[in-house]
Structure 1
């Protein structure tokens, strides 16, 4: 099985999802250091847009990747089609799971990513990103657990999870999953 987590920038919630998937991040309260030490977290540059990054193998030997798709609604369908082409061409029965982490992004993380990655103002962006990551980390954990559960149960070779049931609840300290 191959896991690919995707979102707009590919450097915040996707990196956290990969870190939870690989048990780099542990359940519970996250410190600033925990968040900032996540591989690729807030590290990608403009040249990295659309690139697929390898994060490691999970406990079952499955590779975990991330990609930032920006505003393109064509990246995931293209990845899906390419996956089928390669699986058919090389006679593989490997499952590929493409999971969207965008619904977990709180407004603070969006603002932080804009200041840090787009404007290069880390002094404003990074504190917002850390606070946003602390707000949504539980939701990302749930998303990863659900991604693994659906992947194990699916009979499809390529599974695309939009994860629209995940939301950040604004105005509350907590997050929820419905």
Structure 2
């Protein structure tokens, strides 16, 4: 009888642990164009539909098209007395990545971060880019990627990106959030 009671308590405990989940929330979104003649950031903001549904919205007007050579530096930071590098700092050729994404010869880390915007932006095709860039990043995508696909520890995070076209830095984006 004692073993059955212990087994039941263990089952209840494991069930309760399974119900505990993380939640990601946006805290800030900063965008900076380094060359306004090349690209102008028209909209860079967090929008809130209600208390639980928020999204990051970015619209970039490209003035010098077509863009055929794009590199991205992507870094993940965690707050420890200021934001410090945390796990990832990758620079990659975005055009080559998008060309090879479905062949299986791509870096899994880059593919993980690409899944944030794959279905919510118009950057889901290979170069050249001859149109404005629009990204709508809902909180549920961030929540899923940070807590279910690849769980991260609780804390404050920043995803920082630097965008290069023709080997010249053109823009920097910083998306801040809290995982609790």
In which range does the TM-score fall when normalised by the shorter chain?
0.3 to 0.5
Larger % of helix: which? 1
- Structure label with greater radius of gyration: 2
Q: What is the TM-score normalised by the length of structure 1?
A: 0.33
Structure having greater relative contact order (Cα 8 Å, sep ≥ 6): 2
Q: TM-score, normalised by structure 2?
A: 0.33
